[in-house]
Structure 1
Amino acid sequence: MAFERLRTWYREHPRRTWLSVMLFAHLLGFVSSLDALMSTRTAPGAVAWIVSLNTFPVAAVPMYWVFGRSRFHGYVIGRREDDNQLYNDLQGHMSLVHPFRVTLPPDGGKVEAIERLAKMPMVVGNEVELLIDGEATFRSIFEGIEAARESVLVQFYIVRDDDIGREFQALLMRKAREGVRVRFLYDEIGSYRLPASYLADMSEAGVQVQRFHSTRGSGNRFQLNFRNHRKVVIVDGRDGWLGGLNVGDEYLGRSSHFGDWRDTHLRMTGPATLCLQLSFVEDWHWATGEILELDWTPQPANGQDVPVLVLPSGPADRFETASLMVQHAISSARERLWISSPYFVPDEGVLGALKLAALRGVDVRVLVPERPDNILTYYAAYAFVAPLLEAGVHIHRYQAGFLHGKSMLIDDVASAVGTVNLDNRSFRLNFEITAWVLQREFAQQMDDMFRRDFERSREMTLVEVLDKPWWFRAASRAAYLTAPVL
């Protein structure tokens, strides 16, 4: 009865109804702007949200609570937070790798700060293998899983129910039936198209299947902006894989839209794999509340002693770990800095560091795809490339298909392979992971890889950027405004 009277009053007083709705919307906008003021990580982002929330609250409020926040609440980082059971359990396990901790050489400053960011040590006793493109990567991963005797830990951002996806599924199911403990973790947003039947078949075969709940927790319920972008496979605590490839036919170059797919992955064997395993354990704990019982005995690679550091990063970190990692890498370069990234919309800190590196004489090259899979990132990149080119940064656009690899080469010593793109999403919104390798032989392999890619690329010129029509320049500036959610 009371509801009927209220509805009748609203019908009889439409103007007052409209004013009430707008007043309530502005109240929500004001409250939301206070949250943006206290929680948004960058000043420009905070200003943009505060202005829009108080000017256009009807549209801005729901967008803010879906896309606005940059802090992921509730996730426990066992490496860092010493007031929880996960930390206590993992500290004992990780103490086993301390005998393999490396004393950094004189040029180790390239990774010293990164080691502190990671809260993980750089360890020796490892063997590494650079995996280029899908055929080599999936062959290596499948052979590793086939050889598993105790455990297989699998985590991907995207898994598809296609030819390679079903082959991958069949292998995991077979190993589970053999008695191997197989755990499969996928991102609920990145793999939203994965059919329930795909997961049910795996569960029935004995695979423990879990999704990474980006929306889990009362503070994250409406947040669709966070992703777990990590791609990790760990076998028996000894062999590990990470890099740019997800599980799908397009990553093997079978897509008619993208054609050839250029990507980079890394296999590691040795104590560093336990650091990779620790990252998986933290993600699994968030998804399930379970602390996994695994083998934490370091298993050095035979005859190999490569220093490796694993750096997980994400929106639950106290610092902007991925952005700081990239800025430190740029500032550490003395002779050259070569970067590959499919998405190139860096923040002001990275842009400034790139300019300074080029101005002090460092050979700075950034490799990006010619053909984008995201039109906004394509336009946004043109909003800031002119100052980079003027400073001496060389930007190469890959021509032979779609470039998706995420890697860095610093001078002739330090190399990085992982999942981090040069954009705000990887810097602040995604859970990512990177492996740093400190070895000249591996750096030479990276050098060879980059040079082949540069041969298949064209270098951008300042003239082509300045000659773009006004509408293109306007579109690029407008696209750049969306950088916080790209």
Structure 2
Amino acid sequence: MDYHSPYFFGYLLGVIHTLGIVAALHALFTVRTAQGAIAWAMSLLFIPYLTLIPYLIFGARSFSAYIKARRQANREMHVAMADLNWRPWVEEALAARESNSYKALRAMPKLGRTPCLANNQVQLLINGKATFEAIFQAIEAAQDTVLIQFFIIHDDIIGQEMQQLLLRKAAEGVRIFVLYDQVGSHALPARYSQVLREGGVAIHAFTTRRGWFNRFQVNFRNHRKIVVSDGLVGFLGGLNVGDEYLGGNPRLSPWRDTHLQVSGPVLACLQESFAEDWYWATRTLPPLILQDSYPDDGVLCQVLASGPADSQETCALFFLEAIHSATQRIWITSPYFIPDEAVFAALRLAVLRGVDVRVLIPARPDHRVVYAATTLFAFEAVRAGVRMFRYQPGFVHQKVVLVDDEVSAIGSANLDNRSFRLNFEVMLLTIDRAFADEVEHMLLDDFIHAREISPEESHDTHHLQKLGMRIARLISPIL
């Protein structure tokens, strides 16, 4: 065959466009949201040269078999847990019904798979230094079992410090279980895990499926960050294990993030979330520890673990419920602001109700396409009356929601489609006036260090920048 013949290139273009049409039809039948299906289908029809290979890698699988398998694994795990008499919340759950603020979140009792529990203690951990000092101190004090789960673990200074701590505790006889996401931690060398295994630490990667393509599969990632030490103290929030979370990346430094330290009955739910993911990875249950008694007072808390195998779109519905329930204010911090139509409409309706709606986003990009899409959504939100702020000192990565006077939520979920429908996430919902005041003071300090986006700013944006933002928005449902 003459590869230089114009007929060859004609046939090649015809084959590519035919494959693009087939892939576009496949996207219409398999992509979970209408926006995502349209984004894939249109790009595959008109620019298959650029999008066909990314679709084959990132979007070609419906993963219905995976979702069924994950749900089956969860059922098997809970059957195995039934033998442990795992019922820590019977009396505590009743106290949650006495809270008017929790009653305002009318869907939460059914939306969350775990109940709202009383008698918990919660502490804000602001930025990396405070977070890792508290986590390492809790691990150091462990006598029995430590559960650790992160989306990203790096083999850098903080990663090696954690490795040495875990090896030392394992040598003391503490049972340690570490779970990391295979794609999020793609840069983690195999030697890092091997050293831990040789030292007696149980460590596994969370994978969607086996195979070479899994390295590039960005869907259905485990984005949760959980640490539980001896069933006594737990942690969750936005920070992963890496030097950049301590300001090690000059381009994004100082890194602004928030984590939580929590103790009380709600740790049972946090351990249960870890157990589901560990069971999926290993088909075994990790040790789960319940305390004999808890304090008689404390914060109402509910763990909201969400993921693509949920019967409902738990994460997206949580944001909708939080926004719709707000009567005075709804303040949100997220590194990525790519709301779907329902969430964006809820924010606009909140503005029309007279609610103080504020969203804090980064002033620096870590992913330029996502940043461009975020900017366009931010401009549209400002025109709708939402107060949008860009954090100036460094990159803001925290995921925080504050509703009215008592309700807050902090965890791993971003305000984007990936967290809404494609990632496994975990948030801690808290209902307490004193703790909400602490979150308010933290966010007010963040707003002081932020610049509010004006309605005129979008008009001053260069036309080429506007074009880039609109292209980014077209593909935003699949970002």
Fold-level match, TM-score > 0.5?
yes
Question: What is residue 152 of structure 2 aligned with on the other side?
Answer: 158
Structure 1 counterpart of 2:337: 344
Structure-2 change in CA distance of 1:452 and 1:58 (3 Å)? closer
- In the aligned structure 2, how far is the partner of 1:180 from the partner of 1:356? 51
Residue 375 (structure 2) aligns with: 382
Secondary structure at the aligned position of 1:260 is classed as coil
Distance in 1 of aligned mates of 2:274 and 2:149: 8
Match 2:140 to one of 123, 146, 150: 146
Change (3 A) 1:365 1:275: same
Q: 1:190 aligns with which of 145, 159, 184?
A: 184
Q: How many residues align?
A: 475
Q: Percent identity?
A: 45
Further displaced range: 147-156 or 310-319 = 310-319
Q: Which whole-Å CA distance do the structure 1 matches of 2:87 and 2:433 have between them?
A: 28
Is contact 1:420–1:433 with CA below 8 Å preserved after alignment?
yes
Q: Residues 131-172 of structure 1, C-alpha deviation per residue, up to 9 Å, x if partnerless?
A: 111111111111111111111111111111121111111111
Aligned partner of residue 456 in structure 2, secondary structure = helix
The offset of 1:371, in angstroms, is: 1.4
Structure 2 counterpart of 1:359, one-letter code? L
Q: CA deviation at 1:215?
A: 3.5
Structure 2 counterpart of 1:39: 30
Contact 1:409 1:447 in 2 (8 A): yes
Shift, 1:107, TM fit: 2.7
Equivalent residue for 1:96, pick from 74, 88, 108: 88
Alpha-carbon contact 1:74-1:217 (below 8 Å) kept:
no
Task: Kindly provide the CA deviation profile for residues 21-76 of structure 1, in whole angstroms up to 9, marking residues without a partner as x.
Answer: 66665665455344322322221321232344445556544322322257574357
Equivalent residues in 2 for 1:277-288 (5 A)? 277-288=271-282
Deviation at 1:287, TM superposition (A): 1.4
Counterparts of 2:248 and 2:212 in 1: how far apart (Å)? 41
Aligned to 2:392: 399
Aligned ranges for residues 198-213 of structure 1 at < 5 Å?
198-213=192-207
Name the structure 2 match of 1:74: 66
Counterparts of 1:302-381 in structure 2, within 5 Å, are 302-381=295-374
Cα offsets for 1:324-351 (capped at 9, x unmatched): 1111111110000111111111111111
| Matched position secondary structure for 1:193 | coil
Partner amino acid, structure 1, of 2:90: H
From the superposition, tell whether residues 300 and 71 of structure 1 become closer, same or farther in structure 2 (CA, over 3 Å). Answer: farther
What is the Cα deviation at residue 259 of structure 1?
Answer: 2.0
Distance 1:113 1:148 in 2: 37
- Cα distance 1:12–1:170, how it changes in 2: closer, same or farther (>3 A)? closer
List per-residue Cα deviations over 1:312-332 (Å, max 9, x = no partner). Answer: 112222322211111111111
More divergent stretch after superposition (105-114 vs 345-354): 105-114
One-letter amino acid of the structure 2 residue matched with residue 179 of structure 1: G
Unpaired stretches in structure 2, ≥5 consecutive residues: none
Letter in structure 1 aligned against 2:58: F
Tell me, yes or no, if the aligned pair for 1:396 and 1:459 is still in contact at 8 Å: yes
> Could you report, residue by residue, the CA deviation over 1:230-259 in whole angstroms, capped at 9, with x for unpaired residues?
111011223210001111112122332222
Per the alignment, in what secondary structure is the counterpart of residue 402 of structure 1?
A: coil
Are the aligned partners of 2:145 and 2:287 in contact in 1 as well (CA < 8 Å)?
A: no
| The 10-residue stretch of structure 1 (175-184 or 376-385) with the greater mean CA deviation from structure 2 | 376-385
- CA distance in 1: counterparts of 2:466 and 2:62, whole angstroms: 28
- Report the CA distance shift for 1:300/1:308 in structure 2 as closer, same or farther (over 3 A): farther
Closer, same or farther in 2 for the Cα pair 1:73/1:144, shift >3 Å? farther
CA distance in 1 between counterparts of 2:156 and 2:427 reads 27
Contact 2:233 2:261 in 1 (8 A): yes
- Structure-1 separation of matches of 2:115 and 2:107: 11
In structure 2, give the amino acid aligned to 1:236. D
Q: Match of 1:436?
A: 429
Are the counterparts in 2 of residues 240 and 269 from structure 1 also a CA contact under 8 Å?
A: yes
- CA change 1:209–1:261 in 2 (3 A) is same
Instruction: Say which SS state the counterpart of residue 163 (structure 2) adopts.
Output: helix
State whether residues 360 and 388 of structure 2, in contact with CA within 8 Å, keep that contact through their aligned partners in structure 1: yes
Alpha-carbon distance in 2 for matches of 1:442, 1:72: 40
Q: Distance in 2 between matches of 1:233 and 1:156?
A: 9
Q: Secondary structure of the equivalent of 1:422?
A: coil
Cα 1:82–1:143 change in 2 (3 A) is closer
The TM-score, its normalising length taken from structure 2, stands at 0.91
Over aligned residue pairs, what C-alpha RMSD do you find? 2.6
Question: Once structures 1 and 2 are overlaid, which stretch shifts more, 123-132 or 302-311?
Answer: 302-311
Task: Report the secondary structure of 2:218's partner residue.
Answer: coil
Residue of structure 2 aligned with 1:425, choices 412, 418, 436: 418
Contact 1:370 1:397 in 2 (8 A): yes
TM superposition score normalised by structure 1: 0.90
Distance 1:120 1:238 in 2: 19
The alpha-carbon deviation at position 173 of structure 1 amounts to 0.9
Cα distance in 2 between the residues matched to 1:54 and 1:478: 16
* Residues 71 and 316 in structure 1, CA contact (< 8 A), matched pair in contact too: no
Q: Cα deviation per residue 1:193-236 (whole Å; 9 max; x = unaligned)?
A: 11222111111110011011134389979733332111110112
Q: CA deviation at 1:427?
A: 1.4
Question: In the superposition, relative to structure 1, how do residues 18 and 371 fare at CA in structure 2: closer, same or farther (>3 Å)?
Answer: closer
CA distance in 2, matches of 1:272, 1:236: 14
CA contact (8 A) 1:345 1:381 kept: yes
CA distance in 1, matches of 2:434, 2:318: 23
Letter aligned with residue 452 of structure 1: D
Q: What whole-Å deviation, never above 9, does each CA across 1:398-427 have from its counterpart, x for those lacking one? A: 112221111011000110000011112211
Corresponding residue for residue 467 of structure 1: 460
Q: Pick from 246, 258, 281 the counterpart of residue 252 of structure 1.
A: 246
